[in-house]
């Protein structure tokens, strides 16, 4: 007795659904395997809730930076200036709060305004002068880096108001500092905007085809401008978290978040909602990479391996994303 066409189609549909489900959770499964591998190698030191609490908090700025990156990426633009914007934000807080004596609340507000200003500058040259986003944001990165070094005299500024430190890492819920929950709250809000609002749908349409979106009545330039400004503000918020985690403003180390954040953005587009930049995928990817780096560091692997790990993860993530694009429509790239 042969299978009927209906039975064959049903079996094929079930197989496709299982494949799709596996794609959604594959990175999470690999993350759990990674935790299990490091846990077997270092059961006492690695499988310790205190270790994970530190990991969740210390990589919260990177998680927020990955969320900043995926907003313009969804609209089809790249923002390489997010790492420099993070550094600028934390140093604005240090200069204004420590050196100028401004209240910490006002310093944070001005740091966020600085992030919005970076987004507006990027948008002007990208959208209205028509310069490619990679070129503009690479130039902005160099410009901001020099500005930060001038502001801080190329020195770390310690002594940031303790209220910020307490709000970021001083308080804990379930043993995890609040910094982690700020990143989760941002992911929840962004996920809602992406999936359940007209603004999120317009962002997707613009990224998938600007001319088609324009012909359908979408204000493409306005959407792209909003995405770049949002990216700047989120990167500045990551700088606020970074200042709170360190308790100081470092004019150099913030740029180290750029590569892992980009790797997480692309790697996150291969999970949860494969083929789309999505907040929860980015969060999972950030902490997957953080787990790998932390485990390797605890094993005593040389420091240069971190760069190899992040760079390899970025190449692998983009490769998998391209393979996903070849199979179905997506907004990646």
305: tokens are 């391996």
**57/59 Cα distance (integer angstroms):** 6
In a domain? residue 274: yes
Contact 286, 59 (CB under 8 A): yes
Q: Summarize pLDDT for 113-152 with one digit per residue, the tens.
A: 999 999 999 999 999 999 999 999 999 999 999 999 999 9
**333/322 Cα distance (integer angstroms):** 9
In a domain? residue 5: no
Which helix (H) or strand (E) covers residue 95, if one does? none
Residue written as token pair 């079996």: 11
What pLDDT is stored for residue 43 in this prediction?
A: 85
Q: Judge whether residue 274 has pLDDT over 60.
A: yes
How many Cβ atoms from other residues are within 10 Å of residue 151's Cβ? Answer: 18
Give the predicted TM-score (pTM) of the model.
0.88
Enumerate the H helices of the chain as residue ranges: 5-41, 49-58, 60-74, 82-93, 104-123, 133-152, 162-165, 178-196, 198-208, 210-215, 220-246, 258-268, 279-298, 304-327
Across the range 265-294, mean pLDDT stands at 89
The CATH number covering residue 40 comes to 1.10.3470
Which has more confidence, 304 or 287? 287
In a domain? residue 217: yes
Contact 186, 237 (CB under 8 A): yes
The closest alpha carbon to 63, from 183, 173, 181, 230, belongs to 183
Q: Summarize pLDDT for 29-46 with one digit per residue, the tens.
A: 888 888 898 888 888 888
Cα Rg of the chain (Å, integer): 21
Q: Judge whether residue 333 has pLDDT over 50.
A: no
Total domains present in the chain:
1
Residue written as token pair 């990679």: 134
Q: Longest C-alpha distance within the chain, in Å?
A: 85
In a domain? residue 17: no
In a domain? residue 190: yes
Per-residue DSSP letters for 200-228?
Answer: HHHHHHHHH-HHHHHHTT--HHHHHHHHH
Domain that holds residue 239: 27-327
Q: Judge whether residue 5 has pLDDT over 70.
A: no
């Amino acid at each position: 007795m042969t299978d009927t066409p209906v039975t064959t189609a049903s079996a094929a549909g079930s197989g496709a659904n299982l494949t799709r489900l596996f794609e959604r959770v594959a990175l999470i499964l690999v993350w759990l395997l990674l935790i299990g591998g490091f846990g077997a190698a270092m059961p006492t030191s690695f499988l310790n809730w205190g270790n994970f609490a530190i990991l969740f908090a210390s990589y919260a700025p990177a998680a927020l930076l990955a969320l900043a990156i995926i907003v313009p990426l969804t609209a089809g633009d790249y923002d390489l200036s997010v790492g420099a914007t993070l550094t600028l934000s934390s140093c604005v807080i240090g200069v204004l709060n420590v050196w100028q004596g401004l209240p910490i609340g006002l310093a944070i507000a001005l740091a966020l305004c600085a992030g919005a200003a970076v987004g507006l500058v990027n948008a002007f040259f990208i959208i209205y002068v028509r310069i490619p986003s990679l070129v503009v944001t690479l130039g902005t990165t160099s410009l901001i880096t020099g500005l930060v070094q001038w502001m801080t005299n190329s020195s770390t500024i310690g002594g940031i108001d303790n209220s910020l430190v307490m709000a970021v890492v001083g308080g804990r819920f379930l043993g995890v500092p609040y910094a982690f929950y700020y990143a989760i709250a941002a992911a929840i809000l962004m996920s809602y905007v992406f999936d359940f609002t007209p603004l999120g749908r317009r962002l997707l349409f613009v990224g998938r085809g600007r001319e088609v979106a324009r012909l359908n009545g979408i204000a493409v330039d306005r959407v792209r401008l909003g995405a770049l400004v949002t990216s700047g503000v989120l990167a500045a918020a990551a700088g606020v978290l970074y200042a709170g985690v360190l308790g100081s403003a470092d004019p150099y180390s913030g740029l180290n978040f750029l590569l892992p954040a980009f790797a997480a953005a692309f790697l996150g587009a291969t999970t949860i909602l494969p083929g789309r930049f999505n907040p929860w995928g980015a969060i999972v990817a950030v902490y997957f990479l953080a787990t790998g780096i932390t485990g390797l560091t605890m094993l005593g692997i040389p420091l240069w391996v971190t760069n190899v790990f992040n760079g390899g993860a970025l190449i692998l993530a983009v490769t998998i994303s391209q393979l996903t694009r070849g199979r179905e429509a997506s907004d990646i790239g």
